[in-house]
Structure 1
């Protein structure tokens, strides 16, 4: 081959190699044409990260309540009568300053809070109450249930712990299937033994107890023999077991807050108990429950059990 021809071909080869190298570098460093876009860490550089949405909103815009006689304000205003206007959860009374009023204001609570609790309800009734509540699309559901599961005709008639758990889990599933992002506040079951020890000082209260209020704990209230003591301790232990279930089930749901046992630990005095039955919360007692609920809902971190 002629020497000049070989030299020209050699320069052409070098030029081709240089061109390919430049294009290859451009393909790695620039986005365009058929070049792949950067991904992963490289894609995030140079642009701000969006703020994460908090799992728990301390100012929900609507509230629904489910549960039993306590949430209905039973015996707070008149004997053997519901008084929902003083309910700790959704009541309108200024003397209580309910959870809904504290969160939404009085006008907001009137428009965007609903009380589906039923006097006498047990945990087995909670799934149906929850099904009614979810139709309102509440941002927060307040739960207080379990006292009636322990308040039975006898200790043997108390709801088994396994059944209590299954019913509460079903209620939570009912909520989650309809409203996966709704928040839940769960109040612990009050200390029924303490309520007995406070109320037994009232002759009127003990007469009302004979009408059938919590026989397992309040029956034969002045008896202090071994059998009566064992009966009351059995009820007290069952309440503690229920509260453990509430804490455990709630802990599995990232949008559920248990009160950490605050309602159970609250030392209801005579001023916080109904002047008719000395067992259910009075108007003042309802206000104390509202304080506990509001403190739990608005805290930056959930309370520890």
Structure 2
């Protein structure tokens, strides 16, 4: 496993970010949008106002699955957790091998088995419309558990007007579950709620360098004019948050219709990230410590005898 790079928080990092136009539209997303290998890695280094959920019908839930496949966006790819503007799948909350994170796969399977029985099909920049293709790849692995964390990029757009409509989000997630079931009818599915982007704005805006990086184009629907507290800016941020709440309700409802699916009950949405749990490169994606907290949440919910209430 490659040792994650560490770099000082200097103007050099800011200059490197400024040179990359692809930062533009995606928050919690990265730049790649998938790449030629669809973001696949067998853990090798890559070069509350949430919904009020009711328990999913999971009478046959196995709290100790023997293999894990992950789908989603840059959070699951560990984007910006190790070095500037780069995926770092070894620190992924779902399938990473980093000892400090202790990913869900490592906690469930042990470090040696996790290396051979987990797969990361997430792609930085992915939105819900791209999830069916990821699910098809995951199904080919015949995993006992599939983790899903996606939706932040549907809300993080250049403007609030460009956010994915809730109906389209629902249609794509429903199609994703159908795609998985076509190839892996009995695979368990753990669905994470979308993080509270407004809380991430509130936490990260105390860092002056972070706000300069945000101005380069990260998640403008939420982060544009980070210090603007005027009525229009406040209303815009609240609209983004309300859309995330609506996405989480879709995740809960669609998951509840599948007997082998478990939603996290809004746990990630409700988690209060601190500055130490945000990337030192963009002050928005989870840091290594943030990834570890996500792994803890997932492990607690996957191994619980009952789904979150």
TM-score, structure 2 length as denominator? 0.80
The CA deviation at 1:275 is: 1.1
1:156 to 150, 155, 161: 161
Distance in 2, matches of 1:211 and 1:173, equals: 38
The aligned residue for residue 48 of structure 2 is none
Distance in 2, matches of 1:132 and 1:254, equals: 21
2:85 to 80, 86, 95: 80
The aligned residue for residue 241 of structure 2 is 236
The aligned residue for residue 143 of structure 2 is 138
The aligned residue for residue 278 of structure 1 is 283
Larger relative contact order (Cα-Cα within 8 Å, sequence gap ≥ 6): 2
Which moved further from structure 2: 179-188 or 206-215?
206-215
Map 1:32-181 to 2 at 5 A: 55-181=60-186
Which moved further from structure 2: 210-219 or 134-143?
210-219
Distance in 2, matches of 1:208 and 1:118, equals: 22
1:122-150 residue CA offsets vs partner (Å, 9 max, x unmatched): 00010001111111111100000000000
Specify the SS of the correspondent of 2:202. helix
The CA deviation at 1:54 is: 5.9
Q: Are 1:200 and 2:216 matched, yes or no?
A: no
The aligned residue for residue 228 of structure 2 is 223
Distance in 1, matches of 2:239 and 2:308, equals: 27
Distance in 2, matches of 1:161 and 1:240, equals: 10
- Mark the runs of 5 or more structure 1 residues left unpaired by the alignment: 1-52
1:287 to 288, 292, 300: 292
1:258-278 residue CA offsets vs partner (Å, 9 max, x unmatched): 000000000001111111111
Distance in 1, matches of 2:262 and 2:166, equals: 21
Distance in 1, matches of 2:210 and 2:236, equals: 20
Asked if 1 retains the 8 angstrom alpha-carbon contact of 2:79 and 2:86, the reply is: yes
Specify the SS of the correspondent of 2:253. helix
Specify the SS of the correspondent of 2:76. coil
Asked if 2 retains the 8 angstrom alpha-carbon contact of 1:88 and 1:290, the reply is: yes
Between the two proteins, the alignment pairs up a number of residues equal to 252
1:226-270 residue CA offsets vs partner (Å, 9 max, x unmatched): 000000000000000000000000001110000000000000011
CA-atom RMSD in angstroms: 1.0
Distance in 2, matches of 1:224 and 1:85, equals: 38
- Larger helix proportion, structure 1 or 2? 1
Which moved further from structure 2: 273-282 or 205-214?
205-214
Distance in 1, matches of 2:59 and 2:243, equals: 35
Distance in 2, matches of 1:181 and 1:222, equals: 48
The aligned residue for residue 5 of structure 1 is none
TM-score, structure 1 length as denominator? 0.81
1:82-132 residue CA offsets vs partner (Å, 9 max, x unmatched): 111000000000010000000111111100100010011000010001111
